[in-house]
Amino acid sequence: MRPIIGCHCETCRRTSGHYWAATRGYRKDLRLLEDRGLKWFASSDVARRGFCQECGSSLLYEEYGSPEVSISGGVIDPPTGMSLAEHIGTAEASDYYGVHDPVPRHAECRISDRWRLPPLES
């Protein structure tokens, strides 16, 4: 999995209630410790979001046709060994908070190439 990326775009903010901090891995490697009702919501024409039907927690983000899935950093039991690597979508951040840490930030909602996962081998 890659480091945590914080997304401040309007869609992520409205879905999570604040900015969404997530890591990313391959769907084939995802293992749920318990399945108490993972539900999917088609949040756009390009992606869907997974949430807990019991408590409503936002858990996953998956682009259609992609082998990758984003996993909410807050649902991974510590110690995670991960850290926040960058902020994206800061041009869409709300006005009630600021991004003041030393982590790189990008106005657009695009992850830097250095954090992209390597292609899956066939």
Q: Facing residues of 58 across strands? A: 51
Give SS3 for 50: strand
Structural domains of the chain ordered from first start = 4-115 (3.90.1590.10)
What's the pTM?
0.87
Share of the chain above pLDDT 70, in %: 99
pLDDT above 80 for 16: yes
CB atoms within 10 A of CB 50: 20
* Bridge partner list, 41: 49
Average pLDDT over the chain, rounded to an integer? 91
In this prediction, residue 6 has a pLDDT band, given cuts at 50, 70 and 90, of very high
Question: pLDDT, tens digit, for every residue of 72-96?
Answer: 999 998 999 999 999 999 999 999 9
Identify whether the C-beta of residue 80 lies closer than 8 Å to the C-beta of residue 73. yes
Strands 38-41 and 47-52, by their bridges, are antiparallel
Check pLDDT > 70 for residue 40. yes
Whether the Cβ atoms of residue 92 and residue 109 lie closer than 8 Å to each other: yes
User: Token pair for residue 36?
Assistant: 């108490």
User: Given this model, what pLDDT does residue 113 score?
Assistant: 79
In whole angstroms, give the CA distance from residue 60 to residue 50: 5
120 CB-contact burial (10 Å; exposed 0-12 / middle 13-18 / buried 19+): exposed
pLDDT at 1 over 90: no
